[in-house]
Structure 1
Amino acid sequence: MDFDHLAEQESQRIFKKWIQHLVKNSSETLVTKLALQHRPGIPVSTTRFSHGAFNFCYQVAYEDGCRILVRFTALGRAVFRHEKVQDEVAVMRYLAENTSIPIPTILGSGRCAVGPYVVMTLLEGNLLSRYLRDPMKKIETLNLHISECALKKAYRDMADIVLELSKPEFSFIGALTQDKSGDWSVHKRPLTFNMNRIAQFSNIPPSAFAEDRFSNAADYFEELAKQHLYHLEYQRNDAVMNEQDCRKKYVARCLFRRLSRKVSKEHRHGPFRLFCDDFRPDNILVDQSKLEIIGAFDWEWSYAAPAEFTHAAPWWLLLERPEDWEMNLDHFLERYMPRLSIFLEALRECESRKMCEGSLLEEQCLSDAMEDSMENGLFWFCLAARHGAMFDEIYWAFLDQRYFGPFTTLEDRARLLSDEERMNLDGFVQRKLRQSSEGTLDTHLSIDEIAEL
């Protein structure tokens, strides 16, 4: 489903006002002050650094050669800014204490005149995606002519991190926190990439999302299904093309909510695994000579998640985000499946090596589950659950007939809805068509209230 163009314009307006506020507060002076607060020394330069989709970054170089990163979370790009920073700082500290994944060191975090910030060590290297991407394409996509040997080396390094990330176990689904005694636990809801996207670009009110942690995967999958319904309900513009399109989207989301409670069986009550929505080669740094991994960064949208997310084959093998895939997903599979075979081979080599070293138990291996996820539909279910932009294409191509039998007509599918869902259908359609014709945008919060999230 396309995003609301008016919500996108409002997001950009807020971002520009925030940038003006950053400049007004003498950004380089502020950056130096924050740097010295968390890393004493003599700064010799402060320069802008490469910015991601949600952050604005500065590099501070010290006289002793140390380089650190001061990162602000941008208003207008991230909706739940303070929660996002708290979650990322917590998971990075957890990873540093409990895994062998090389990551930047958190030096400090807090709130300042322009919002939440993080200060961390700066990892220097080249993006792994730089060596894998097709230089002739505007959208970041895998170079299909790269040698199998080079691709397998990259996948093997990624597989090492995937395995290490999946080993910690938790009793709840949600964000991590550390208490005063040093113990780690899950204390609240997970903040996800998709929650931010649909709140930012579809104008869903922040209050629509659940706030508590989840004790079982069925409840969490149902919450994700509800978020897809909220996406359709609250987005006023560009959500539906006509009455038939609206009915089809409504039916798909109602049926997805029904099946959401049935998917998790063996791992419904955990243990739950660490998962990062945005983990991909674009967040991995390697050295220039041997392409060995220096570190992994950008751990926002990381949380204890259903085991099914970890057991599904990775979406990033072609580098592209799901919203950039072709609408004909069979064409996507033609490109994806050969690379999945290479990744699974690399993953099995990593698993064998780690088991021989004694750092991985047989029950912690992921390769068989990932391979099966393409056959049993778990790959597509997890993608549909986590990515609102591609929900409809995935649901109708790979989920509907698998769970509800051969498709005849949309009217027949609508008969599978509950009495309440069928009763609400006509009114919902008329309301969405009226919203589309009005061309307006609801205002849920002021800029000041958004800045406090």
Structure 2
Amino acid sequence: MDWDHLAEEYNDKLFAGWLQLLSQQSPALPSRLATQHRRGTARVADVSQFTTGAYNICCIVTFEDGFRALVRFPILGRSRFRTEKSRNEASVMKFLSRNTALPVPRILGMGRWGCGPYLVITFIEGMLLSNRLGDPTIQSPSLNPNVSDSDIQSAYRVMAQVILELSKPIFSSIGALEEGSQMWKVAQRPLTLNMNELVRVGNLPPGIFAEKTFSTAGEYFEELARQQLLHLQYQRNDAVDDEQDCRKKYIARCLFRKIAREYKKQQSGPFHLYCDDLRPSNVLVAAQDFSLTGVIDWEFTYVAPAEFTYTAPWWLLFESPEAWESDLHVFLARYTPRLRLFLNALRSCEDEMIRKGALKEYQRLSEHMAESLNSGLFWFCLAARKSYMFDDIYWQFLDKRHYGQGSLEDRLLLLSQEELDGLKMFVSLKMQQARENRLDEHISIDKLIDL
């Protein structure tokens, strides 16, 4: 399914207007915020130009004593749950700094300015791992084809260290972390990258998602399957090509929900922290070697089903899933050799950490990840987390695995009577939406700024 072009245009306009307001108050605004939250006597010596990421705009504030702080503003129009995202990210970074060996930024302060929330964190020196091995001839992230296997192995080893350390804390429910009076607890819903995208470029109502934590993996998988149906229902434009395409997408989502309902429904944990966007472009290493100096951008990190942690990483080619070939078997031919390299690096890290007493034998991830492609878990979890790739993944890797050979008409026989009864009306609704070529207005601009 493609992005709703009208939703994308609307959010681009929001971003442009918001950026103009931010620019008018800068560099005075980031300078004041950094000074306020550092609470020192040193004066600001320099404020850098803004750097724009996917969901945040940042600048570095340097003090006369050499201390540097990073001021992060979640972008209006790109980040659609800005306050919740900032709160969750701050909580995760505090937890990781106190309970793991991961080098993460320290929270100096947070709050709101006139047009939304902000975070002030310490600046970590280092070179992005993606820049060390990325293809300089391509603007979007991609692995340099001329890089040596030994350098890739070194990079994978750094990423393996991060993943293993992140997987060690365990929890009894699924959701966002919150610091309690005596201990950390899962107290809020899991805010995911996919939820942000469904609202941003699918124009789903921000209030449509479940507002709760989840006690079993099956319960959460069913919620993710529900989100895929809501996506098809609420995205008005660029969602379906014609009636046949609509029927096919509706059937796929109903059958995926059926898979989700049967998938380890009784599993009640333990669960692990998972970052939707953890990849080499969020990992910092020393310029002279591959030693880890920091891990940044912890937005969309939450306690998730163990299955997410146990699947092979999606970032091994240094590409986002949306950049993969539409024929995912072609992608798989490129991905599989890299997976073997990564698993070797991961096993080496596991062995070393076990020898040092930093990891238990039962905490190994390598065998789970190696099996995830064979079992289909890799594709199941990716389909659950990536709505705009859902149809390609479902029909290429999930449908026949779970339901065998058969035509689309055969698949209709697997739907419940309620699903069959709703199909004709659903198709009619989507065709009407496509003809109208407009956006629904779910929220006022004032309320949007407050989110």
The alignment partner of 1:142 has SS state of: coil
Post-superposition offset of 1:51: 2.2
Write the distance in 1 (CA, Å) between the matches of 2:151 and 2:60. Answer: 31
- Number of residue pairs aligned between Structure 1 and Structure 2: 449
CA contact (8 A) 2:61 2:70 kept: yes
1:191 aligns with 2:191: yes
Residues 205-225 of structure 1: per-residue CA shift (max 9 Å, x gap): 011100111111111001111
Post-superposition offset of 1:405: 1.3
Amino acid at match of 2:171: F
**TM-score of the two chains, using structure 2 as the length reference:** 0.98
The alignment partner of 1:177 has SS state of: strand
Post-superposition offset of 1:107: 0.7
Write the distance in 2 (CA, Å) between the matches of 1:430 and 1:3. Answer: 21
**TM-score of the two chains, using structure 1 as the length reference:** 0.97
Post-superposition offset of 1:50: 2.5
Residues 397-431 of structure 1: per-residue CA shift (max 9 Å, x gap): 1000111111x211110111110100010110111
Query: Which residue is 2:239 aligned to?
Result: 239
1:6 aligns with 2:14: no
1:352 aligns with 2:351: yes
Query: Which residue is 2:202 aligned to?
Result: 202
Post-superposition offset of 1:352: 0.4
Post-superposition offset of 1:302: 0.2
The alignment partner of 1:327 has SS state of: coil
2:429 to 405, 428, 431: 431
Moved more, 31-40 or 365-374: 31-40
1:444 to 427, 442, 445: 442
Amino acid at match of 1:174: G
Write the distance in 1 (CA, Å) between the matches of 2:255 and 2:105. Answer: 42
Residues 374-409 of structure 1: per-residue CA shift (max 9 Å, x gap): 100000000000011111000001000111111x21
1:379 aligns with 2:378: yes
Post-superposition offset of 1:126: 1.4
Spell out the pairing of 1:47-446 with structure 2 (5 A cutoff): 47-181=48-182, 183-264=183-264, 268-406=267-405, 408-446=406-444
Residues 176-201 of structure 1: per-residue CA shift (max 9 Å, x gap): 001233x1000011000000011100
Residues 261-316 of structure 1: per-residue CA shift (max 9 Å, x gap): 22236x82000000000000011111211132210100000000000000000000
Residues 15-59 of structure 1: per-residue CA shift (max 9 Å, x gap): 1121122234x1211111111111122111112242211111111
**Percentage of pairs with the same residue:** 53
The alignment partner of 1:16 has SS state of: helix
The alignment partner of 1:314 has SS state of: coil
CA contact (8 A) 1:224 1:385 kept: yes
The alignment partner of 2:272 has SS state of: strand
Write the distance in 2 (CA, Å) between the matches of 1:99 and 1:274. Answer: 12
Write the distance in 2 (CA, Å) between the matches of 1:270 and 1:145. Answer: 42
Write the distance in 2 (CA, Å) between the matches of 1:390 and 1:450. Answer: 27
Distance 1:138 1:28, change over 3 A: closer
Write the distance in 2 (CA, Å) between the matches of 1:257 and 1:393. Answer: 16
Post-superposition offset of 1:142: 1.4
Post-superposition offset of 1:146: 1.5
Amino acid at match of 1:272: F
Unmatched 5+ residue regions in structure 2? none
CA contact (8 A) 1:264 1:308 kept: no
Amino acid at match of 2:198: I
Post-superposition offset of 1:434: 1.1
Amino acid at match of 1:443: E
CA contact (8 A) 2:158 2:290 kept: no
The alignment partner of 1:27 has SS state of: coil
CA contact (8 A) 1:87 1:175 kept: yes
Post-superposition offset of 1:5: 0.1
Write the distance in 2 (CA, Å) between the matches of 1:131 and 1:163. Answer: 22
Distance 1:56 1:152, change over 3 A: same
Post-superposition offset of 1:451: 1.2
